[in-house]
A = this chain, B = another copy of it.
Amino acid sequence: MNNRMMTLKKLAELSNFSVSTVSKALTDNPEISKPTKNKIKKLAELYNYIPNITAKNLKEQKTRNIGVIIPNILAHFFAKVLVGIEKEASKQGYHIITCISDESYDKEVKSIEMLANGSVDGLIISISKGTFIKKNYKHIQSIIDRGLPVIQFDRVIDEIITDKIVIDDFKSSYNATTTLIDSSCKNLAFVTPIHNTSVGTRRLQGFQKAINKASNIESSKLFVIDDYKIFAKDFQGYLQSDTIDGVLASDELSAICAMNLIIGLGLKVPEDISVIGFTDGILSENSNPPLTTVNQHGQELGLLAVKQLVNRINQNSEEYKTTIMNTSLIKRKSTCK
């Protein structure tokens, strides 16, 4: 904003009408006569008048901004969700203010504080790993108590009551595991870098359920990734001493890493070991061999989140609901058959 900016007041002086007449003329209020409207509109056009959005926001007690907090924009899934959010928000006339928590509790708290001072009309959030580990959710609850509409997606805190949009992690994981088992894998491994999150937990449960239900499983092994280098050593060590013929990973990157480690040992994917990952991203599509993945439909998820949030902003009446999105298994060459 600078002194070049045209305002209603200046326009009023220039046109010899009052501020309120100018305001009404520009919003096509029927109280104002045609000729007056025309004069004023022409003048506004000439001087490139643009209504000051901040003043409007103050007057109307809203911002037309949506806050978005995601753990990691470099993960394809979150990037895709963001694309969906941006598209729908833009369509509905909302800006999005993006904060990246970088999986850190502290950054998440700070971001929320920065957003909850009236900067946004609502918030879409996926919880950071750090917060799950810390198990401290006060920062989320406090903004809800303050009356800010919140939508949680993907990584959600069950105890915090808001609208939620998740995928059916348990079922997706169960189905993916079953796919491995059906292609006669008997020695399975579950690889996860998000062990502490809601999502990670459910995916592991789905994996275990499928294994328990199957009759001919010989072994199963859990690899929790904190550090990829340590994981590489552990995983390859295990491969050399034990048998694995099927891997399910709870995200995309760890699936690709596992596959590369397998290939690095001279083993074949999928002939020796089948691999399935979560999130259908650029990595999965372009790996060699291309990776069979659980498609989480991130973009639609983002779209839905905005729709639900805008709904909630406009009418705060409905029951809070959890939407479970379908996934689909995209079969590529990292699995047999």
Contacts and interface: CB of A to CB of B under 8 A. Distances in A.
Given A4-B147, A256-B286, A100 B117 contact: no
Contact of A90 (B58, B99, B118, B121): B99
Contacts of A117: 50-53
Interface in A111-157: 111, 114-119, 121, 146-147
A116 B62 CA distance: 18
A119 B95 CA distance: 9
B50 A54 contact: no
A162 interface: no
Contact of A260 (B2, B74, B286): B286
Contacts of A253: 282, 286
A19 interface: no
Contact of A52 (B52, B76, B118): B118
Given A50-B117, A73-B79, A256-B286, 15 more contacts: A1-B62, A1-B63, A2-B147, A4-B146, A5-B118, A51-B117, A52-B58, A54-B58, A55-B58, A74-B79, A74-B80, A90-B111, A90-B114, A97-B98, A253-B286
26 contacts: A1-B61, A1-B62, A2-B147, A4-B146, A5-B146, A5-B147, A52-B58, A54-B58, A54-B118, A58-B58, A73-B83, A74-B79, A79-B79, A82-B98, A83-B100, A86-B98, A90-B99, A90-B111, A93-B114, A95-B114, A95-B115, A95-B119, A97-B98, A256-B286, A282-B283, A287-B287
